[in-house]
Amino acid sequence: MSASTIDQCVESNRRFAIGEALHKPTYPGSLAIKPAKHMAVVACMDARLDVEDMLGLQTGDAHIIRNAGGVVSEDVIRSLVISHHLLDTNEIILIHHTRCGMLAFTDDLLCSALEGDERAGNILGKATGRSFVSCHASAAAPAAFYAFRGAIEPLDTPRDAENTARLEWDVRRSISAIRNHPWLPMSGPDAITVRGFIYDVDTGRLDAVSYPGPIGLLG
């Protein structure tokens, strides 16, 4: 059986992590509108992630969808439905990463601080090393920030078993959100494949996340 596009990306990542330059940064010329590798990538917006480089992709190979945390929000689902049904993608790779800022707050804490809760702002300031400046106002949007489950930790904390588990939980939640959406088929002639990974910003390596598995606090 031939390797899937995601398998090829994992192999390219292994080469990237040992120093090979795989992505060609020059203008590629005229390209087709549909991604050449029929793949969509959902990844965090973190400045340390160069998605094309880490996966060995070239311009035109894949749809790259990025947001804070690489979470599968309603807008990401919207993009994936369009990507699949109109533009022929059939493999989805989800990428979270170590030392992620989404581990340093909770939704309630950030909302409270933005609305003027001084204690919440102080907690966020200690976690991020940045003086938090409140807007002293409530707002209806965004409806959620999608912070990762579990106890918050200081920004940019090195990888350990606890924060790795928190990342894995959210990757699995994202996989589940895709696999259980009625407009993203997981079987039949138009089936999609979805897999999730954690990118280690200290090594450049991707680690696969098993699915199904735990998606929240145990015990």
**Domain harbouring 62, CATH code:** 3.40.1050.10
Which pLDDT tens digit goes with each residue over 3-48?
A: 799 999 999 999 999 999 999 989 999 999 999 999 999 999 999 9
What residue has token string 């979805």?
A: 194
Residue 2 confidence (pLDDT) above 90: no
Domain assignment present for 117: no
Which pLDDT tens digit goes with each residue over 193-206?
A: 999 999 999 999 99
Domain assignment present for 85: yes
The residue among 219 and 29 whose pLDDT is bigger is 29
pTM of the shown model? 0.94
Domain count, the chain: 1
What residue has token string 């581990």?
A: 103
Q: Note the pLDDT of residue 216.
A: 78
Please, what is the average pLDDT of the chain? 95
Tokens of 42: 């959902």
d(CA 76, CA 66): 9
Residue 62: what residue type?
A
Domain assignment present for 118: no
Residue 159 confidence (pLDDT) above 90: yes
Q: Note the pLDDT of residue 218.
A: 47
Domain assignment present for 156: yes
What residue has token string 């009625």?
A: 182
Q: Is the peptide bond before 154 cis (omega within 30 degrees of 0)?
A: no
Domain assignment present for 132: no
- State which residues form the domain around 154: 5-102+147-209
Domain assignment present for 41: yes
Domain assignment present for 168: yes
What residue has token string 């340390």?
A: 48
Domain assignment present for 116: no
